[in-house]
Each structure stands twice: as structure tokens, then as C-alpha cells.
Amino acid sequence: MKIVVVSSPKDQPNEVAEVIKMFDLGLEYFHVRKPKMGRKQLNEFIRQFPERYRERIIIHSYHSLCFSLKLGGIHLSRKHRKRGKFYQFKLFLRRTFGRKIIVTRTFHKLTDLTTDKRRYSYTFLSPVFDSITQSTLSAGFSKRALLIMIPQAKQPVFAMGGVSYDRLSDVANLGFEGAVFLGSIWNAKEKPHEVFQRALLEEVDKFD
């Protein structure tokens, strides 16, 4: 099972240092979602990461930074997917003739798993469990519906929303190919890299 970590939307003490430690421990991809950061701030944030790790960073905004900083890929939000054909054509050219990049998106409806015709490296489905960070956000799908729809998805699907190490067995049994960690990393009492080392990697080994 693959594990990705999404950045905290808020400022976190030593966030870059913690993510670097997670990379050292084997974190495959780190998604940078900083909705309150402008382009300059985001550029400065990412430049704090050693170049050897930037190809494992997926950016959610200011996609041009993916190419100038040689990042791993981009995440397409609803806003990006609604952009005109010119944007889509540029993205097509970059993926076809330029450096290979990862492209991801988040689904909030099960039917989108089979109806979206775009090509993604992997996708998120949210919310699978009750949210750890938002008390008002509860699981959006029944177990039966997930067991039916996940196998029909056209690309790899990762569980997002309320995912923690003690739910990894549920994630695997539902047919997901990966898990997305957010609140369980940044809201823990332990340091983020300690949670990743002690809980996530040990639990993932049970399903590999």
C-alpha cells in the first residue's frame, strides 16, 4: 500500500524539517496544499527542500512552479479542471513531450471514478472516514458502495479523510491502493516524523 502525506494548510513548526525526515524514512510523495500562500511564499517554502527530494513533491497551486523547480507533479483542483482548452492543451503538451510529471485529483463522488475520462497517475477519494481535522465532515460513502465501485475505477484510488494508522487495514480491505494522511500526522501529540516512523510504516508492512 502506498502512503502520501498532505501538508498542513496552516503553518506548522519545523514542517519542512519534519517532511525531510519523513522522506528519509521512505515517504513516497508529499502534497503541498497551502491555500493561503501566494506564489512567492510557496516558491520560498519549496526551495527549503533539498533538490533530491523535490521530484517527490506534488503541488496543488501555482502549477508553473512544478516545472521551474523540477517538482514531481501537480494536483488538479476543481478550479484547474474548469479552465479552458488552452490550459488543458498546454498540460497535454507538457505531459507528452516534456518531462514526465505526476497528475492527480480528488474525487468526492463515487460515480466520478468511472466517468472522468482524464488520465491521472493516481486519485484521492474523500471523505472515506470521519474527518480528524473538521468535526462537521463525516464519512461520505457506505462500505458496500466502496466495495462495488473501487474495483471499477480507471486509475489507482487512495483513501482520504479521517485516515490514520489504525484504519489502514480497513483501507486495504476496501480495495484502495493507497492512503492519504493529513490530520493524523499534523494533529498528533508526537512529532510528525515519529508518527510516520512508529505507526505508518510499521502498519503498512503488514499489507505489503
Which pLDDT score is estimated for 101?
A: 87
Mean per-residue pLDDT over the chain, rounded: 86
Range of the domain at 108: 2-204
Q: How confident is the model at residue 12 (pLDDT cuts 50, 70, 90)?
A: confident
How buried is 21 (Cβ within 10 angstroms: 0-12 exposed, 13-18 middle, 19+ buried)? middle
Question: Is 154 within 8 Å of 107 (Cβ atoms)?
Answer: no
- Whether residue 1 is predicted with pLDDT greater than 90 in this model: the reply is no
DSSP string, 70-136: T-SEEEE-HHHHTS-HHHHHHHHHHHHHSS--EEEEEESSTTHHHH--S--SEEEE--SS--SS-TT
Query: Taking the model in full, what pTM does it have?
Result: 0.87
Q: Could you give phi then psi for residue 116, rounded to 5 degrees? A: -70, 120
pLDDT one-digit tens code per residue, 75-119: 988 766 555 555 665 666 566 556 788 999 999 999 999 998 888
| Residue 202 CB contacts under 8 Å (≥ 6 apart), including other chains | 165
* Structural domain total, the chain: 1
Question: Closest by alpha carbon to 187, among 140, 134, 130, 127?
Answer: 134
Rounded distance between C-alpha atoms, residue 54 and residue 135, angstroms: 33
- Whether residue 31 is predicted with pLDDT greater than 90 in this model: the reply is yes
Question: Is 187 within 8 Å of 17 (Cβ atoms)?
Answer: no
DSSP structure class, residue 151: G
pLDDT over 70, % of the chain? 82
Which pLDDT score is estimated for 106?
A: 95
Rounded distance between C-alpha atoms, residue 169 and residue 104, angstroms: 24
Which pLDDT score is estimated for 198?
A: 73
Q: Residue range 26-45: average pLDDT?
A: 95
Instruction: Specify the CATH number for the domain of residue 194.
Output: 3.20.20.70
